[in-house]
Amino acid sequence: MNHDRRTRRLVSASLAVLALVVGACASASSPAPAPGTPAPNAAPGTPAATAAPSSERPTQAGARDLILATTTSTQDSGLLDVLVPDFEARTGSVVKTVGVGSGQALQMGQDGNVDVLLVHSPAAEMTFMENGHGVDRRLVMHNDFIIVGPKDDPAGIRGLTSAADALGKIAAARATFVSRGDRSGTEAKELGLWKAAGIAPEGAWYLQSGQGMAATLTISAEKGGYTLSDRATYLATRDQRALDVLVEGDPALLNVYHVIRVNPGRWPKANTAGATAFADYLVSAEGQALIGRFGAEKYGQPLFVPDAGKDENALP
């Protein structure tokens, strides 16, 4: 039953996101339709409303428009509210952002519905690259994941240094745990930690929100439960949450972000110039400086650590 509900949620979310992107492309003024693009008065349900083969991908709204698919953590933390306007001011580009779980973002890239990705699901990213869906994958930044939960900590995990051990205690206590359940990079990390703990989580104590990080934190607080969060989203919302940071510092909790351009060989109508400019900006001195400063004044610490040019294997 849980699997069926989760599947329905993911299908609904994916359809909603796809409708958002197609609507954005259709609503803006554009040059004459590309070959294979339905006429403006085409009936609903024509191929323009679905992922099309590369030769039929709708022309983007304008030569400077760029469609970015990114994880909800970059939106919920407020980072994109700083980076995107600066990039637009420097380049004159218009960026249309779709915030979804990394798994959904990668699927949108695979389907040719976006131009560039900013995601944090390394294993899925490598599969994406190996299958020829993306090019030019570059390290941008990192922060870390944390396990948060109620102040009274019924599972007794506070201060543990192993995330897998903490999940083991949560499962043994049958304490409420709220999973994203949305194919996000956060869920991928969580499932890896359960696997490391030798546990297949199931039962009434294990809930799936099917939503982004901020919403999942809210549900965890309402349910008096635990969850895995990226630190940036937690800090950006912590004043509204009744959740404490209980487990942190385990190297297994590293959270790494990459920028990836969709493969123009597969999707020749992708905004390759815009995607390249955005990727270049994220790893530039200016972009990295903004990333490194973001959150320091408001939260007392930066929410992300800039990593362009670093050896990824040497990250903490």
Q: Where in the chain are the domains?
A: 9-22+63-143+256-311, 144-254
Q: Would you say the CATH fold of 144-254 matches that of 9-22+63-143+256-311? A: yes
pLDDT band at 201 (very low <50, low <70, confident <90, very high): very high
Mean pLDDT on 166-182: 97
Instruction: Write down the H helix ranges in the chain.
Output: 2-27, 72-76, 80-91, 102-110, 122-130, 163-173, 185-197, 213-223, 231-237, 272-283, 285-293, 296-299
pLDDT digits (tens, 9 = 90+) for 37-69: 333 333 333 333 333 333 333 333 445 599 999
Task: Note whether 308 and 138 are within 8 A (CB).
Answer: yes
Quick one: DSSP state of residue 46?
A: S
| pLDDT recorded at residue 36 | 34
Q: Domain 144-254: give its CATH superfamily.
A: Periplasmic binding protein-like II (3.40.190.10)
Quick one: DSSP state of residue 61?
A: S
CATH architecture of 9-22+63-143+256-311: 3-Layer(aba) Sandwich (3.40)
- pTM of structure: 0.77
CA atoms of 124 and 115, how far apart (whole Å): 18
pLDDT > 90: what percent of the chain?
A: 72
pLDDT at 72 over 70: yes
